[in-house]
A and B are shown apart, each in its own frame.
Chain A
Amino acid sequence: MSEMKIRAKIEGDETVVKCLMTHPMETGMRKDSKTGELIPAHFIQEVICKHKDRVVLKASFSGGVSQNPYLSFKFKGGAAGDPLEISWTDNKGESQSAKVEIQT
């Protein structure tokens, strides 16, 4: 599985975070076009965003979030070089996390 991409950049008095996760986000309702069988549900359920090791934003997803989920949020009080970490866990218990430094 390829890496999660995160960009955290200071714009004015806010840090703007843009994140692209790699995940199939299967709802469990889609049929395989060849076999006609249902493709089992496989989607990210929980996303946790941390600034300086403290949780600032939590997200819960259903399979209704698009494949390779995109998430953007903003917050005040970030400084250049601060660590910004995002991690996800899916319905199969798989997880991935990535950490970047806030850029100016």
Chain B
Amino acid sequence: MIDPKRRALIMSALTGCAAWLGSRLAWAEWNAAAFHSKDVASALKGLLGTDSPETSDRIQIKAPDIAENGAVVPITVETDLPEVRSISLIAAKNPNPLVASFEFVDPKVTPFISTRIKMAETADVIAVVQSGDKFYQNARAVKVTIGGCGG
């Protein structure tokens, strides 16, 4: 029989361990530093380790020129760059600019992604592509009539 004090100590140590492990795992999977970044450069640095990808017109961004509603802006990114490992989406003037990042785990997946994002105000939508070990970006301006982050 373990005395209650001892049991409490063991339990708290175990819980602490679990919490620590939990937070570590979450961090490993979801890049909190990059997603919490407040500017484009630090988001890129946090996510990809570089803040200056080369501009490439081989990345096509499909988006409306004018988005009536910033809460729902359809974005499609496509590229013919080789060995695409990831595509990341950034709304340059959002409070947290990094919106989403897609990892192409299996090479049979076409370097194409389509989703809908929120935009706080008129800004560039930036797509960053990791092609092999290199990074490329392209941008497209989207005019937002009503911002999509307010209450």
Residues of A at the B interface (CB closer than 8 Å) are 14, 27, 29-33, 39, 45-46, 51, 54-67, 69-77
Contact = CB atoms under 8 A, between A and B. Distances in A.
Find the residue from B26, B100, B149 having the highest chain A CB count within 10 A.
B100
A32 B151 contact: yes
B134 interface: no
B136 interface: no
Nearest to B90: A64
A59 B108 CA distance: 16
Contacts of B148: 66
Nearest to A75: B109
B40 to A, nearest CB: 13
Interface string B113-137: 1111110000000000000000000
B142 interface: no
A72 B30 contact: no
Nearest to A64: B99
